[in-house]
Structure 1
Amino acid sequence: MRLVIGLFGLLVLTACGGVRDDLTVSPEPIGQFRLGHNIAVTPDPERGPFSRKATAEEWNAAMRQAVADRFNETRFPGDAYYHIGVAIEGYVLAAPGIPLVYSPKSVLIITVNFFEDATQTKLNEEPIQLTVFEPCCSIPFLGSGLSKSREEQLEGLAFNAARAIERTMRENAEWFGGTPEVLPEDETIVEGNVLVDDPDAILPDQSPPATN
């Protein structure tokens, strides 16, 4: 079993590589965007089914770090400051399952708002709600509960949430003085709250194994 899990883990790392390497590439600018305030709050998050626990402080720190890594002034040295505010609304840090039988998925639900520093105005009329899955969860029979620690799951979700924020910004680049982009679909990023809209997306078709 250990050998099988090890091989599955290698498959996951291979599948993750391209997504996780994107911070090493110099991005195209998003209009005049330059990161001002980097705000993350976790007021009262919903912890989904079969989830490990994480504190508000852990989520806030992970989210701020992911935003700072992606939007630092070396990568986006624009001429105008904009602020990003993120609220953690819910999460699942998948507990270990059984490969090929029961492997719940890890997800993070956030809302994000953008503000222009010069005018002190909010750029999006309504808060933008997004659900992100771990970038390495494309292998359906292996949940990250077996291959990753709680801390690694949390960091991976925050990383992908920052990716989702960048996608939203590019699709609405006029907010930052740029030209909107049409991006290919990303199955690890969806609009809305999957815990409410589609809870079956988190749980596999199988039932969890019986516990004594």
Structure 2
Amino acid sequence: MFELSELPMPLHAPRFAIFACLLALAACGQAPDPLTDELPNMGDFRLGHAVLVADNMQQVPPSRSATPEEWTAILGAEIDRRFAPYEGERLYHLGIAIEGYALAPPGIPLVVNPRSVLVLSVNVWDDALGVKLNTEAEQILVFEGSSRQTAFIGSGLARTRDEQMQVLARNAARQIQRYLRENPEWFAIDPEAPPFRAARAASDAAFSVETLPPPVAGAAN
């Protein structure tokens, strides 16, 4: 079984030469809260360690600033929030490198409306086998997405920096899960199996995104 100190770090992806150009693109909206969202079946998956690193993280202007510690804290919390309910028979570990980000500053509505984005590299390990399951790190590009508040005035005016990070981290956790489910053989996922948990009313959740604490500088996952 892996010890945390022995778990390999994610492979860092090449720098994104066209990363800044992607900030002008729109994408899907905000991911639902996993406490109320329907959770898909994950077979025998149970999360062991989620190792997050941001040592080589790049900030792509125009952007508000955030520290590596803030990013690993908030993304680690969202990884736990999405994957902690799963109690499968086998342990799997995630290695996640935060490669780059942009947090949209205030712009000019309908004229200059920068987008927030997060770039990750993800590796997956099977604890029992002691092997990495993906041959190359999976690069995941995460957009903040738009909402009724941000569609016209922009994210930089409608959301605070911490709110932007919250949305990006939650979207990232959902996209990581989507990537895992694209490889059902890793986790013995039955495509005919019902969802792990049906969607619940927001009132049934322990807390909602609005009541989540902001990132804490210096915190680690």
Give me the TM-score of the superposition, normalised by structure 1.
0.71
Q: Is the 8 A contact 2:34 2:82 kept in 1?
A: no
Measured after TM superposition, the shift of residue 55 of structure 1 is: 0.4
Q: Structure 1 residues 103, 95: closer, same or farther in 2, change over 3 A?
A: same
The answer for unaligned runs of 5 or more in structure 1 is 1-14, 182-212
Code of the residue aligned with 1:151 in structure 2: it is D
What is the aligned residue count? Answer: 163
Structural mapping, 1:193-204, within 5 Å: none
- State the distance in 1 between where 2:101 and 2:88 align: 33
- Give me the identity figure in percent: 48
2:167 equivalent in structure 1 = 156
> In terms of mean alpha carbon deviation, does 103-112 or 36-45 score higher?
36-45
2:119 maps to 1:95: no
Q: Is the 8 A contact 1:29 1:78 kept in 2?
A: no
- State the distance in 2 between where 1:22 and 1:37 align: 19
- State the distance in 1 between where 2:37 and 2:187 align: 21
Structural mapping, 1:71-90, within 5 Å: 71-72=83-84, 75-90=85-100
2:72 equivalent in structure 1 = 60
CA RMSD in angstroms, aligned pairs only: 1.9
Measured after TM superposition, the shift of residue 35 of structure 1 is: 0.6
> After TM superposition, what 4+ stretches of structure 1 lie above 6 angstroms from structure 2?
none
Q: Structure 1 residues 40, 86: closer, same or farther in 2, change over 3 A?
A: same
2:144 maps to 1:134: yes
Measured after TM superposition, the shift of residue 23 of structure 1 is: 3.3
2:201 maps to 1:177: no
Q: Is the 8 A contact 2:121 2:137 kept in 1?
A: yes
2:121 equivalent in structure 1 = 111
Q: Is the 8 A contact 2:110 2:153 kept in 1?
A: yes
Measured after TM superposition, the shift of residue 119 of structure 1 is: 1.3
1:47 to 32, 53, 59: 59
Residue 141 of structure 2: SS of its match in structure 1? Answer: strand
- State the distance in 2 between where 1:22 and 1:55 align: 25
1:167 equivalent in structure 2 = 178
Q: Structure 1 residues 134, 152: closer, same or farther in 2, change over 3 A?
A: same
Q: Point out the structure with the larger strand share.
A: 1
Code of the residue aligned with 1:49 in structure 2: it is P
Q: Is the 8 A contact 1:104 1:143 kept in 2?
A: yes
Residue 125 of structure 2: SS of its match in structure 1? Answer: strand
The answer for unaligned runs of 5 or more in structure 2 is 1-28, 193-221
1:190 equivalent in structure 2 = none
- State the distance in 2 between where 1:32 and 1:147 align: 40
Measured after TM superposition, the shift of residue 29 of structure 1 is: 2.2
Q: Structure 1 residues 56, 21: closer, same or farther in 2, change over 3 A?
A: closer
> In terms of mean alpha carbon deviation, does 169-178 or 88-97 score higher?
169-178
Give me the TM-score of the superposition, normalised by structure 2.
0.69
